[in-house]
Structure 1
């Protein structure tokens, strides 16, 4: 949660996602020679997968398109280079299984997934997303299935193994990110999308409660401060983390959340004007879902965090403005070890 990073969404050429990373995550290291060599060795080939009478599909061979740099660097940081080496085989296997013609991956790419445009046997444009398994994205396919294309991209196929998540997704055209639009417009679009996404999860669902994620982040925060006690005022830290962990249980309604809804994860489309991508579904307090967008609106956040929170609460149906202020205060405290200016932001947010 501490640092801000830019990553390609993968559902449209040039789409950019701005995301605040989780607490305790180290700064991205300089790219090392071994990873540069691995990226070259795993470059896709010049021929796309094409169906013919003798061979179902072939790997593409465009030597000018190496693996996405963001993915290669993140693999080193996360200790996933062995997983990265299995990627060409996984792409080839899924291309055969799902009858896909696969093009070059999007550049610069995301940090946890290889994403490329594909066509199915009927010629429909889709997106293949193959990522390493990580807890926050476990339920992406199930969440998209519940939303069934209403406000979010459709999922056409999915596969989950112990270390890999693969999704075959609707492709957005033109795919321009909402982040390219002025922030006041972003506020309105996101509020409209979230209002439609906040549905009751189906009976017997297996989505995790928001409390699970909150408790995990709180523990990481405490470990970070224990290792570096001078990072943040201890009183502010105690107040912020206590509120952060109390808020989920005090919500008056529980809905399916995206938890990573921000302007970089919303793309212009034809079926609907805007569609959400890359959700990380949990069930919990709808007020939480506004936070990632608020944190990404850095200039307005630092200038007047209360006005920003109140504006967003006014656009979101059923979201209490004081409750959203409390969430924003707590989340700013959680981010502050990596971005000390957010401690000052937190102190300027009235929460009573």
Structure 2
């Protein structure tokens, strides 16, 4: 098995510490040993590493079947077992749909998930997307059983976390953040409470799968209003209110159960949190509508 040398970069360590605190430093330093043990256990040939602020991800080949064909898989590791547990819970709930990456195995004690590869696997932010394909993805995400579990938090809890992070980073005027937070928490408190929400469904977290079916990865799952997941797709490329409303109407016409009015309200309420949100939304007036 290959050693886990790739990805041990000081920048990766710093990002994990910024997100999880000092405990993430020793965890990052011990990654080669942890990955080597998981590779032996799951029959992995470990390749290049990547990841963001909450995890390290290793591209692997897994020992093949009786024909000796090796399968592409991903080994995902996070220093917080709660993050891994929540992702595993959501992926299991979505296991019946091919529109979400498949969970093959896990060791939640050490924050490890083994995920099926997606081919061709191009990120949608690089390939571009069509409204009909995104609508199918959003509709498929709504097929999860509407059975709440204590393992996943309510959507309002994630909203509070995201606005707290934005306040610490000083990304927007405090008045804008205050208006957005209040509006988003109001929506979370008045909408559906039992829908499984991906929570981070932007074009960087969606891959192109077989037959151009879009496949969601990296959920930050909660229970709440599934219309929340439409925000990034509604605002992508929208330069004014007319274009935004047109995109929302197109999506709502294709996704059963989607409320165009609530998607628009979510776009306004979360604009200060959304990368690439149009300037007309990121003002106190824009948040109020």
Compute the TM-score of the two structures, normalised by the length of structure 2.
0.79
Q: In structure 2, do the counterparts of structure 1 residues 313 and 135 end up closer, same or farther at CA, with 3 Å as the change threshold?
A: farther
Q: Structure 2: which 5+ residue stretches go unaligned?
A: none
- Looking at structure 2, the residues matched to 277 and 214 of structure 1 have their Cα atoms a distance apart, in angstroms, of 20
Residue equivalent to 1:190:
134
RMSD: 3.5
Structure 1: runs of 5+ lacking an equivalent = 1-48, 50-58
**In 2 relative to 1, CA 331–106 (structure 1 residues): closer, same or farther, beyond 3 Å?**
same
Alignment length (residue pairs): 278
Question: After superposition, what is the alpha-carbon deviation per residue over 1:137-160, rounded to whole angstroms, capped at 9, x for unaligned?
Answer: 541111111111511121111112
- Between the aligned partners of 1:314 and 1:134, the Cα distance in structure 2 is 39
Of 177, 181, 184, the match for 2:123: 177
User: In 2 relative to 1, CA 291–346 (structure 1 residues): closer, same or farther, beyond 3 Å?
Assistant: farther
Q: Which residue of 2 aligns with 1:126?
A: 73
Please show how residues 245-324 of structure 1 align to structure 2 within 5 Å.
Answer: 245-252=185-192, 254-270=194-210, 273-294=213-234, 297=236, 299-300=237-238, 304-324=243-263
Paired residues for 1:1-352 under 5 Å: 49=1, 59-60=2-3, 65=6, 67=8, 71-75=12-16, 77-78=18-19, 79=22, 80-98=24-42, 100-107=43-50, 109-111=51-53, 112-120=55-63, 122=65, 123-133=70-80, 138-150=85-97, 151-161=99-109, 164-183=110-129, 185=130, 187-198=131-142, 199-202=144-147, 206-220=151-165, 224=168, 231-232=172-173, 234=175, 236-252=176-192, 254-270=194-210, 273-294=213-234, 297=236, 299-300=237-238, 304-334=243-273, 341=279, 344=282, 347-348=285-286, 351=289
Query: In structure 2, do the counterparts of structure 1 residues 220 and 146 end up closer, same or farther at CA, with 3 Å as the change threshold?
Result: same
State the match for 1:56 in structure 2. Answer: none
Using CA pairs below 8 Å that are at least 6 residues apart, which structure has the higher relative contact order? 1
Higher fraction of helix: 2
Displacement of 1:247: 0.8
Aligned partners of 2:256, 2:212: CA distance in 1, in Å? 20
What secondary structure does 2:61 align onto? strand
How many Å apart are 1:245 and its aligned residue?
Answer: 0.9
Does the Cα contact within 8 Å between 2:75 and 2:115 map onto a contact in 1? yes
Cα distance in 1 for partners of 2:181, 2:114 equals 38
- Which structure: larger Rg? 1
Q: Is the 8 A contact 1:68 1:106 kept in 2?
A: no
Tell me if structure 2 keeps the 8 A contact 1:207–1:282: yes
For residues 277 and 244 of structure 2, the distance between their equivalents in structure 1, rounded to whole angstroms, comes to: 15
CA separation in 1, counterparts of 2:231 and 2:179?
A: 18
